[in-house]
Amino acid sequence: MDDVTIARALHVLAVVLWIGGLGLVTTVLLPALRRFPDPAQRIALFEAIEGRFGAQARFSILLAGLSGLWMLIRMDASDRFALPSYWWMHAMVLLWLVFAALIFVLEPLVLHHRFADRARQHPEATFRIVHRFHMALLALALLTILGAVAGSHGLMLFG
């Protein structure tokens, strides 16, 4: 089962890069930008920094998904989805689907243009919404990580 161990190591690495980056954007970058007085500068900085993180996030999401799927198949673990005690398996897959839809489909096609337009017209409200949205995603990701590490190392909640 060496390949499962390698997949697990890559899975954790990908999650650290991805959710770690999300954590930095949410708890450091966005609060700092919200204090910037000039909206144009604020938008330019946000796009420059989150744009660079976007490439890293896309790579990490792909790696987390592939390594997760590899483990799932090799551990023959799909029957877990029928058991409530494996809620964290559902949480991982759902979270992955939400992020993949956001970053590969919605962001390039819709959100990017909408953000720039709205942020120019209503900078305060737009940054507040963007910040809240990031906080909600980060909270869900942290809960999923707690559940996945505890659950895969034997702590069973809900039966």
Could you say whether residue 53 binds ligand HEM (CB under 6 A)? Answer: no
What minimum distance in Å lies between the beta carbon of 27 and ligand HEM?
16
Number of residues this chain uses to bind ligand HEM (CB under 6 A): 23
Question: 94: which 2 tokens?
Answer: 């759902």
Could you say whether residue 137 binds ligand HEM (CB under 6 A)? Answer: no
Please enumerate in sequence order all residues whose Cβ is within 8 A of that of 50, keeping only pairs 6 or more positions apart, or say none: 25, 29
Residue of 36, 53, 87, 96 interacting with ligand HEM (CB under 6 A)? 96
Render 97-114 in DSSP notation, one character per residue.
Answer: HHHHIIIIIIIIIIIHHH
Residue 155 backbone zone (phi > 0: left; psi -120 to 50: alpha; other: beta)? beta
Please enumerate in sequence order all residues whose Cβ is within 8 A of that of 154, keeping only pairs 6 or more positions apart, or say none: none
Which range of residues in 37-45, 120-128, 130-138, 139-147 is near ligand HEM by CB under 6 A? Answer: 139-147
Could you say whether residue 15 binds ligand HEM (CB under 6 A)? Answer: yes
Could you say whether residue 134 binds ligand HEM (CB under 6 A)? Answer: no
What minimum distance in Å lies between the beta carbon of 82 and ligand HEM?
15
